[in-house]
Amino acid sequence: MKNMIIQGGNRLSGEVTIGGAKNSTVALIPAAILADTPVQFDTVPDILDVHNLMIILKSMNVDSSFKHGVLNIDPTQIVESELPSKAIKSLRASYYFMGSLLGRFHRATLTFPGGDNIGPRPIDQHIKAFKALGATVEENNGTIHIEAPNGLHGTRIFLDMVSVGATINSILAAVKASGTTIIENAAKEPEIIDLATFLNNMGAKIRGVGTDVIRIEGVDTLSSTNTHTIIPDRIEAGTYLSLAAAMGDGITLHNIIPEHLEAFTSKLIEMGVNLQIGEDSIYVPQSDDLKSINIKTLPFPGFATDLQQPITPLLTRANGVSVIVDTIYPQRTKHIIELQKMGMNVTAEGGLIMVERTHHMHGAQVSAGEIRAGASLMIAGLMADGQTIITKADNILRGYDRIVWKLNRLNADVRIQDESGVEVIE
């Protein structure tokens, strides 16, 4: 595991370009194996999750190459094989290979995926969908076996709870199933629309994405004829908006889809941040005299659970007490104890995160338990006086495109070291 070293206190300014969406990318890469031709993605974020997914592709004899934001994948020589458990366990989104392998080969075997530990995230809705499509599912000692020897057939799938992962896996499995599949109570996230756009451009027949009812007419073949440009990462954007409002003297974010961020930007405006929102950019001026706010995380288009941690350090700049309720992952509080080590007035109790104005934060050694907790600590480290050392910084690198380079261009002082203390160029 690597360490992130931050010398805090620098005022930040300049411009930053947001990369492609991590949560799209980790679904699009497994989706690529459904294609009968090579595929190409543009604006792919340079994050660890992409490289781990490429390792998984290689185990199936799928060639891939990644350079300057362009990812080429050739699944035409794909073979069924045991997937590398280390790569599978390193990121939860590897479970999308369940749907794509089931769609391609009518069977899949995976070890139970790992990734961020942010509380219970069962896959019962995924399994329910696979069974509805005609598959049998068995689990033995952490390994999941899914098989549909008679093929997959269109059906009605009602998700008991709104789940991004289950919605995506249902699409991946159903896109080549015979007949028509209807997914009800589907998630509406922009990343799902991005996935459907990619598949439809290859000949899929998916309608209704962005609503709670998705209709899929199965097709026999999928062929790519153009490059798919991945949508901007709204979570990366929200993270930079938070640090810009907390420590910025004027920062412009480029490659933004403002409509994807309305729940988040409305809260910044409510705080008193005078955002200047353009068609595909947002300017954040120096922000003072901020007001406390209340936040409740909800499925899209509500306030994203992935942004409750990055906004927490900013709330210490506000007068009064701010309250966060995470209805998606109530146990997503790994950052609280770590932030307290830095002097932040923040507590988590009874499902509430309460943040009070904090006049002084100091550097400390803290640990990034998962991606967004790490982002929260990173912002706090930029705000704090002195040096902050974030251990397990690989978790930050899993989710943020060229993060060190981008931060240092804004006048931050950030570097990465390996466990022996040797500086690593990211």
Token pair listed for 183: 């997914």
- 375: nearest Cα among 47, 43, 42: 47
371 assigned ligand-binding residue: no
Q: What is the dihedral of CA 406, 412, 415, 416, to 10 degrees?
A: -60
- Strands, sheet with 387-391, edge to edge from the N-terminal-most edge strand: 365-367, 387-391, 3-7, 414-417, 423-424
306 assigned ligand-binding residue: yes
Out of 116, 194, 233, 401, which one is annotated catalytic? 116
122 assigned ligand-binding residue: yes
22 assigned ligand-binding residue: yes
Token pair listed for 366: 């803290």
Cβ-count burial 368-382 (b if 16+ within 10 Å, e if not):
bbbbbbbbbbbbbbb
299 assigned ligand-binding residue: no
411 assigned ligand-binding residue: no
> 116 catalytic, yes or no?
yes
207 assigned ligand-binding residue: no
92 assigned ligand-binding residue: yes
3-state secondary structure 264-313: HHHHHHHHCCCCEECCCEEEECCCCCEECCEEEECCCCCECHHHHHHHHH
Q: Which residues contact 401 (CB under 8 A, 6 or more apart)?
A: 19, 20, 22, 45, 46, 47, 233, 236
| Residue numbers annotated as active site | 116
Residues marked as binding?
A: 22-23, 92, 121-125, 306, 328
Residues marked as binding for UDP-N-acetyl-alpha-D-glucosamine?
A: 92, 121-125, 306, 328
Residues marked as binding for phosphoenolpyruvate?
A: 22-23
